[in-house]
Structure 1
Amino acid sequence: SAANNDGGASNSGHVRVFQESGGTWSQTGSDINGTASNNNLCPVALSSNGSIVAVGEPGFGANGRGAIFDLGLALPVALAHFGGTAQPGGIELAWQTASEQNNAGFEIQRSAEGAAWESIGWVHGQGTTNATHDYLFTDLSPHYGINYFRLKQVDFDGASEYSKVLSIPFQGQYLTLSVYPNPVRGHWQIRLTKPLETPGQIILSDLVGRTLHQASLEVGQERWEAPQMPPGSYVLSLKATGGFISKRVTVE
């Protein structure tokens, strides 16, 4: 039932449940509508985080009696959104929480096949709050192809829960390389179509796969002076975050 219930359903009244946080009282859950005097059903309302249930009294008049139960089932974090997009230099993850309780933070985990997981970062949480919060994290070294991500939400007491799993394809930075001069005679160099956005590695090998020379490339680098090699055929490979390019080179 509810206060101001006339018992005849023409004015059923209602009960509202309020919760205090930081000195501010706000309604939690929806209104509990009162019932007519001949209605034996109990009106029920559940708080938005699932932790409090209010039960109105059936079939009575304007007494407004009922009961409120704290179930203690509030989720540490109400995750409203979790998604990600591939960018030229990595994969950007974004998520939003509707509320947080005792939230120490989020461990970001990645997998290449969706089974074995590795931790790639940590983002601090907001502790306890009923306000929405937005979070961002960028994976700067994703695997080439499909990447799987999930969040491990960790409480201050060490308890944890996992989010859903995202699968995001990553093709890497678009690069091509050219050899100058071609064919090679004496000194030569490789040139990239654009500066590297992430560190890379150059590997020069023979046709059976033996590494003859290798060097590291820095972010922003777009040329590499190659060593002099005896006449023959070689394979030049460039490995950069999220990508792999190989080219056959003939030295005369």
Structure 2
Amino acid sequence: MWWMLARMSGWDGDLPVELTSFRADVSGNNVVLSWQTATEVNNYGFEVERYAQSVECKGWEKISFVQGAGNSNSPKEYSFTDNLTLTSYSYSYRLKQIDLDGSFTYSNEVKVNSSEKASEFRLEQNYPNPFNPSTMISYQLPMNSFVTLKVYNMLGQEITTLVNEQKPAGNYEVKFDASNLSSGVYVYRLLAGDFNASYKMLLLK
């Protein structure tokens, strides 16, 4: 699914900012937002806004700004980590895309529920896939565990270690940057206690 972010000042013949994905994931006690654009014209950047579903909430709140690429005909990836102390509330997020001339529009909203608990060990397929040059790998832990997450080539040679530490129960997301690697198929493997899972991913440059 994608959303076209058209400028509120009206159509001027240029391509708008095309948002191809926007997601929010709970990672430990934080919320990780990630989004991707296919094209950008006069994109100054994105204000990140949060709405907490609580009686204390006073509406949408600007929590950060992420610089845009300006003009681009190739995919661009962005991310922001909301380092808040999660409560039992639900949180909604949206992006306010701002042009260089000050005009703006909003993305669709995404929501996370901090009260949701991981019920099992799980490793997800990376997203996006295929990817270039980076992708996100998500996993969940139902209990405190020592976690190892590594990437291998198709010869079984270790490329890098993404995680190698004790983690509390929760949902996590890790960014894998393959800027220095060649196109091809790679495998990532998660070890956590007795749990062992792996997936293939495709790097296309």
TM class, shorter-length: 0.3 to 0.5
Scaled by the length of structure 1, what TM-score is found? 0.38
Higher relative contact order, chain-length normalized (CA < 8 Å, sep 6+): 2
Scaled by the length of structure 2, what TM-score is found? 0.47
